[in-house]
Amino acid sequence: MGYIYCIEDILDNKYVGSTKGEPFGRKKVHLYRKYKPSGQNYSSRKLHLEHSIIYILEECDNKILKEREQYWIENTECVNERRAIVNKKEYMD
């Protein structure tokens, strides 16, 4: 099973993500990425992660995880800039 989760900060900014693992540990990953010097631009960096909560939006089969993540991104006012990766070709583009 996989999870679609939302991280919501103190200013009501939201980030939607997915994981095949335990969702509540994802906040630590996003905090690490926020302060890690890298060339990658993660949408969750826009959040005040130090003052945020994480909650589950949906539990679903791993086979449709990215499809459901994309649904939530499209139907939630969120800071996500990228589409959920649907296939390898999209990832490479």
Q: What's 23's domain CATH number?
A: 3.40.1440.10
> Pick the residue with more confidence: 69 or 93?
69
Give residue 12's region: left, alpha or beta (phi > 0; psi -120 to 50): left
What are the beta bridge partners of residue 72? none
Alpha helices in the chain (DSSP H): 26-35, 65-74, 88-92
Residue numbers of the domain that contains 56: 2-92
- Could you report the per-residue pLDDT of 5-63, keeping only the tens digit for each? 999 999 999 999 999 988 888 887 877 777 776 656 788 888 888 899 999 999 999 99
Instruction: Measure the N-to-C terminal CA separation of the chain; round to a whole number of Å.
Output: 28
Considering the entire predicted model, what is its pTM? 0.82
Phi, psi of 20 (to 5 degrees): -90, -10
* pLDDT of amino acid 5: 95
